[in-house]
Structure 1
Amino acid sequence: MDHALRLARRGLGNVWPNPAVGCVLVRPDEGGGGVVGRGWTQPGGRPHAERMALDAAGAAAQGATAYVTLEPCAHQGRAGPCSDALIAAGVSRVVTALTDPDPRTAGQGHAKLRAAGVEVVEGVRAAEAAALQRGFLKRVTEGLPMVTLKLAASLDGRIATAAGESQWITGAVARRHVHLLRLQHDAIMVGGGTARADRPALNVRGLGPVRQPVRIVVSDRPVMGLPPEDADHGPLWQISGGMHAALSGLADRGLTRILCEGGGVLAAQLLADGLVDELVLYSAGIVLGADARPAIGPLGLTSLADAPRFTLQRAFRLGPDLCQHWARPAP
């Protein structure tokens, strides 16, 4: 399952509105560690991971155990249900991490497999799979995409000098890591003020040909001057209104994972509304002082009990800088 989870991660930001799934087929009687097929959800959401793994295994899938990070689908889409494909291939055992909350499957994939005589084991590495699938799960169960707030700040939490100079607070290694973070999200979001002041490209650079994320600008007024959609820049969408309703609309359009790289005002709005699921902080060894621009605008807090709280997931060095990944605790 750990192998399947690593494969699933390859699809993040590349398969919406589908989930990023990994699948590994194993036969202990085979050499090479027993793996006879593996796959992950392909760009655009098709083919599914199970189909890729079955095609790789061929006849060796007969009698194999399939490790899948999400319950095989049970509904008819552009291709047949993955649960049916596993049955037809003669897989004898299916081990899954999560039940798919999509009402078109929601346990029916497991039920189909059991009815066909396939042994099913559920809940293996469930916590890890749920963290990986947070965007897909939130879209299906809450009608909202997962939001990651990215901040690149000084030691004292500032993102620019009082005059607005911000390039560059963090070093080259951290900035390159940001592009990897962008690659793992469906869309990059900024506010209208950031878009007008910086004219940001909002794309993935330096990682070869990739499916570029959707670019989202939050503004009530038209924003001009950003690059048009092409091979190097994803679609450009403009949204306005309350953030909860706006994000709900983005989920309706299929987005599951959004990376916010806006300024302090947008960051504060998302935090105040309880819409930030994960926070990635790139911290540089520089101090800018109280007159510099804060990473997060006013929240209007009167009590510590009302402050948004996050749990540290991991921290690591990126050249001279520090990257911290925080997650909002589950309710």
Structure 2
Amino acid sequence: MTSIESVVRAAPAELDAMRHALEIARRGPAKGPNPRVGCVLLSAAGDVLGEGWHRGAGTPHAEVAALADAAGRGTSTRGATAVVTLEPCNHTGRTGPCSEALLAAGVARVVVSVPDPNPVAAGGAQRLRSAGVEVEVGALADEGRALLGAWLPSVERGRPFVTLKLATSLDGRVAAADGSSRWITSEVSRHHAHDLRAEVDAIVVGTGTALVDDPSLTARNAAGELQRQQPLRVVVGHRDLPPHARLHGPGGELVHVRTHDPARVLTELAAREVRHVLVEGGPTLAAAFLAAGLVDEVHAYVAPVLLGAGRPAMADLGVTTIGDAVRLTTRSVIPLGPDVLVVATPDRHIDPHSTTEEH
């Protein structure tokens, strides 16, 4: 429990308003530097005075949007309760502090789902309390954290959230002995993977994969057309790409990070306000991110195909005994046509410079 948290005392009308705030927050962009946030303003009698959600970077925050909605309805917010999915910010960035906007509007009570983990923006609850506003934090906290998705752990860990994607045969191969890999998984799986690409801020591959597979790293719909929002395309390694590479074609911006250090890759992407990274390959890059303890989630698309030989999904992790295996906790198993998608999170990571396990 953080210093701003308290025992949650929320009325039924406030919990209903929080559920609605969570619902309207989902109308905001699912990716980008800013979180999804919703706000509902209630009168003392529990009537809705206004509502709003954050529509993306540079636009009014949810609290300000809700206050504007209330003003548009001609309703006064003095003495009102603000029900908001994320702690009101207390800093000036692209917009002003939401805590000050609520104070200026005469709000008397604020009910929050999730405290803001960003040290730059946090402090809104304390600012409001110091001004005499009653603040409750933790209402429907599990739902609030789920809404924030990759944004929340990214801010908490100070780096982009990393999803490692694998597409393998049943015996763990990503290509046959002759190097061919199209297609191991089914069309259903590939469509699902393109939807995943559309949800992330950046896709990362190594130069080896870029040179051998010549991917475009775009997010496409079922008709093969580019989706409206395209992720940043990131190539990691020192080798140059040929001018005819498909990565130079239409799609998201292409960034070449000339390093083999996964931590440096994430530092450079964090500077670009990237919150969610999808590592797509190849085996060497996947092993490097796992060995560095920088994989937060694994999406493994597994096809009922046996190759017996060919390129493995993972390069050497330095595991010499079963006790050192990288174990994961399965979060879900989703059938996709003939394939399955296994979503799992690592239980621990390997420290390549030590024999000590880090939990």
TM tier relative to shorter chain: 0.7 to 0.9
Q: For the structure 1 residues 326 and 40, does the alpha-carbon distance in structure 2 shift closer, same or farther, using more than 3 Å as the test?
A: farther
8 A contact 2:218–2:226 mirrored in 1 = no
Alignment partners' CA distance in 2, 1:54 and 1:174:
43
Alignment partners' CA distance in 1, 2:226 and 2:128:
40
Aligned residue in 2 for 1:96: 112
SS across alignment from 1:161 = coil
Deviation at 1:3, TM superposition (A): 4.8
Alignment partners' CA distance in 2, 1:136 and 1:307:
29
Q: Which runs of 4+ in 1 moved over 6 A?
A: none
Q: 1:301 aligns with which of 311, 314, 319?
A: 319
Q: For the structure 1 residues 252 and 84, does the alpha-carbon distance in structure 2 shift closer, same or farther, using more than 3 Å as the test?
A: same
Q: For the structure 1 residues 24 and 134, does the alpha-carbon distance in structure 2 shift closer, same or farther, using more than 3 Å as the test?
A: closer
8 A contact 2:64–2:101 mirrored in 1 = yes
**Which string of whole-angstrom CA distances, capped at 9 and with x for unpartnered residues, describes residues 289-330 of structure 1?**
2x1221112212023333223222222222222112112358
SS across alignment from 1:203 = coil
Deviation at 1:253, TM superposition (A): 2.9
Q: 1:320 aligns with which of 338, 342, 346?
A: 338
Q: 1:154 aligns with which of 144, 160, 169?
A: 169
Q: Does 1:242 align with 2:261?
A: yes
Alignment partners' CA distance in 2, 1:222 and 1:188:
18
Alignment partners' CA distance in 1, 2:163 and 2:28:
17
Unmatched segments (≥5 aa) in structure 2: 1-17, 349-358
Aligned residue in 2 for 1:262: 281
SS across alignment from 1:159 = coil
Q: In terms of mean alpha carbon deviation, does 313-322 or 122-131 score higher?
A: 122-131
Q: Does 1:273 align with 2:297?
A: no
8 A contact 1:186–1:256 mirrored in 2 = yes
8 A contact 2:186–2:339 mirrored in 1 = yes
Aligned residue in 2 for 1:15: 32
8 A contact 1:160–1:166 mirrored in 2 = yes
Q: In terms of mean alpha carbon deviation, does 68-77 or 126-135 score higher?
A: 126-135
Aligned residue in 2 for 1:113: 128
Deviation at 1:65, TM superposition (A): 4.1
8 A contact 1:24–1:53 mirrored in 2 = yes
Alignment partners' CA distance in 2, 1:269 and 1:216:
16
Alignment partners' CA distance in 1, 2:125 and 2:251:
40
Aligned residue in 2 for 1:186: 201
Q: For the structure 1 residues 132 and 165, does the alpha-carbon distance in structure 2 shift closer, same or farther, using more than 3 Å as the test?
A: farther
Q: For the structure 1 residues 223 and 3, does the alpha-carbon distance in structure 2 shift closer, same or farther, using more than 3 Å as the test?
A: farther
Deviation at 1:183, TM superposition (A): 1.9
Deviation at 1:185, TM superposition (A): 1.1
Q: For the structure 1 residues 30 and 122, does the alpha-carbon distance in structure 2 shift closer, same or farther, using more than 3 Å as the test?
A: closer
Alignment partners' CA distance in 2, 1:64 and 1:304:
59
Alignment partners' CA distance in 2, 1:301 and 1:176:
34
Aligned residue in 2 for 1:81: 97
8 A contact 1:301–1:307 mirrored in 2 = yes
8 A contact 2:112–2:139 mirrored in 1 = yes
Alignment partners' CA distance in 1, 2:304 and 2:49:
46
Q: For the structure 1 residues 38 and 172, does the alpha-carbon distance in structure 2 shift closer, same or farther, using more than 3 Å as the test?
A: farther
8 A contact 1:65–1:91 mirrored in 2 = yes
Q: 1:46 aligns with which of 48, 59, 65?
A: 59
Q: 2:270 aligns with which of 251, 260, 263?
A: 251
Deviation at 1:113, TM superposition (A): 2.2
8 A contact 2:49–2:75 mirrored in 1 = no
**Which string of whole-angstrom CA distances, capped at 9 and with x for unpartnered residues, describes residues 180-223 of structure 1?**
21122110001101111222111221287533211100111112
Aligned residue in 1 for 2:9: none
Q: In terms of mean alpha carbon deviation, does 129-138 or 239-248 score higher?
A: 129-138
Using the aligned pairs only, state the percent identity.
45
Deviation at 1:98, TM superposition (A): 2.4
8 A contact 2:301–2:341 mirrored in 1 = yes
Deviation at 1:85, TM superposition (A): 2.4
8 A contact 2:198–2:227 mirrored in 1 = no
Q: In terms of mean alpha carbon deviation, does 212-221 or 232-241 score higher?
A: 232-241
**Which string of whole-angstrom CA distances, capped at 9 and with x for unpartnered residues, describes residues 90-111 of structure 1?**
44433223222322233x2001
Tell me how large the CA RMSD over aligned residues is: 2.9
Aligned residues, how many? 322
Alignment partners' CA distance in 2, 1:15 and 1:99:
19
Q: 2:88 aligns with which of 56, 68, 72?
A: 72
Aligned residue in 1 for 2:13: none
TM-score, with structure 2 as normaliser:
0.78
Q: In terms of mean alpha carbon deviation, does 48-57 or 269-278 score higher?
A: 48-57
Q: In terms of mean alpha carbon deviation, does 199-208 or 310-319 score higher?
A: 199-208
TM-score, with structure 1 as normaliser:
0.84
Query: What amino acid maps onto 2:331 in structure 1?
Result: Q
